[in-house]
Amino acid sequence: MSRWTWRVICVCLATVLMMVFGVASAYAWRYIDATGEWVYDLRDGNATIWWRAKEPSGDLVIPNELDEHVVTSIREFAFREHRDLTGITIPDSVTSIGMYPFYRCPLTYINVSPNNPVYEDIDGVLFDKQRQMLISYPGAREGAYSVPGGVLLIGELAFYECHGLTSLTIPDNVSGIGDKAFTACHNLTNVTISNSIEEIGEYAFSFCTRLTSVSLPNNLTSISDGLFFLCKSLTSVSIPDSVTSIGNRAFLECHSLTSISIPNGVTNIDDYTFANCFMLTSVSIPASVTSISPNAFEGCLGLTLSVNVSSYAEEYATDNDIPFIYISDEHWFRN
């Protein structure tokens, strides 16, 4: 056997051993506390909760200490899919919470110790201490909700799968909504968004299957990827003139959408933007559009495009056998 072959074998063995011992070491860092209820690890001598060793139910109070180690962190998805967990209290020692730790938990409240230096709750909803970001909304709380004044951001996944949420009001001062913030809020029917919003994250309203209409804010410049994906009850959307970009799959599977007007300044209509919008019969496309994906209107069998004379949209409609009409002179001039 050649020296080169031996070197390859040795390198492979060393890699395997490193992987095995690395995984073993990672798992060795986890502990079960003296009560047998909590799984945690140690970081700089402090405890980070990984999950609950015993299935929690009802209201759960997170301890300040585990085995004399201060609990400072809750890991991402730490309490995922605990179907009987209805409320949680966060102690003053916890200063770090990972991404969506209460995933698919039927919480009705999230309480925070008043002495916590980083987090705060307002009426059972989790915020940062400065009340500038809404971090997590209890998934099982029912009815309408108005975001408090002074909040600047709605965090990523903040309302994810909050099936009881029926109506939402977002006030002035809020400037951004994170990715998937309202994904799968199946009973959300009405959203009032203030014009202070400048950015709405990807898939923010996806799978909101009962959402019927939305007026987007006047300061919005981009409709992000998948923003209304599978909002199958959505019948109308008013896109402001400020929008210059519409992302992939933005209106994919919006089965009830009947018409839409794309504002002047938009240049691209991307992959599957309006695909499978079965009821879509009318789309007005301005002359500013110079690129349309071949699958942008896939499955829109009753569609007629409104286009400008000698525009890219007219060429696209002709090449793809999509019926079209010309925008009136008045409309054309205005665009």
Which of the listed residues 92, 110, 141 is the one where a domain comes to its end? 141
Note whether 38 and 133 are same-domain residues: yes
Which of the listed residues 141, 171, 194 is the one where a domain comes to its end? 141
207-251 residue pLDDT tens: 999 999 888 999 999 999 999 999 999 998 989 999 999 999 999
Residue 58: pLDDT band (50, 70, 90) is confident
Q: Give the domain range for residue 19.
A: 1-29
Mean pLDDT computed over every residue of the chain? 88
Contacts 24+ apart (CB under 8 A), 221-226: 221/245, 222/246, 222/247, 223/247, 223/250, 224/200, 224/250, 225/249, 225/250, 226/202, 226/250, 226/252
Tell me, yes or no, whether 326 lies in a domain: no
**So what's the pLDDT on residue 168?**
95
Count the helices and strands in the chain (H runs, E runs): 3, 28
Of 295 and 51, more confident:
295
141-165 residue pLDDT tens: 999 999 999 999 999 999 999 999 9
Which of the listed residues 87, 109, 141 is the one where a domain comes to its end? 141
Residue 82: pLDDT band (50, 70, 90) is confident
Tell me, yes or no, whether 258 lies in a domain: no
Whole-model pTM: value is 0.85
On the question of pLDDT at 103 being above 80, the answer is: yes
On the question of pLDDT at 4 being above 80, the answer is: no
Note whether 111 and 57 are same-domain residues: yes
Q: Number of C-alpha atoms within 13 angstroms, CB side, residue 290? A: 4
Nearest to 242 by CA among 278, 196, 279, 202: 196
Tell me, yes or no, whether 108 lies in a domain: yes
Nearest to 56 by CA among 101, 123, 97, 100: 101
**So what's the pLDDT on residue 25?**
37
Note whether 128 and 44 are same-domain residues: yes
Tell me, yes or no, whether 134 lies in a domain: yes
What is the total count of domains within the chain? 2
Tell me, yes or no, whether 46 lies in a domain: yes
> For a pLDDT cut of 70, what percent of the chain falls above it?
89
Tell me, yes or no, whether 92 lies in a domain: yes
Tell me, yes or no, whether 193 lies in a domain: no
Tell me, yes or no, whether 293 lies in a domain: no
Residue 100: pLDDT band (50, 70, 90) is confident
Note whether 23 and 95 are same-domain residues: no
**So what's the pLDDT on residue 26?**
39
| CATH code of the domain covering residue 96 | 3.80.10.10
Question: What are the beta bridge partners of residue 177?
Answer: 154, 200
Note whether 37 and 137 are same-domain residues: yes
Note whether 76 and 14 are same-domain residues: no
Note whether 125 and 66 are same-domain residues: yes
**So what's the pLDDT on residue 63?**
94
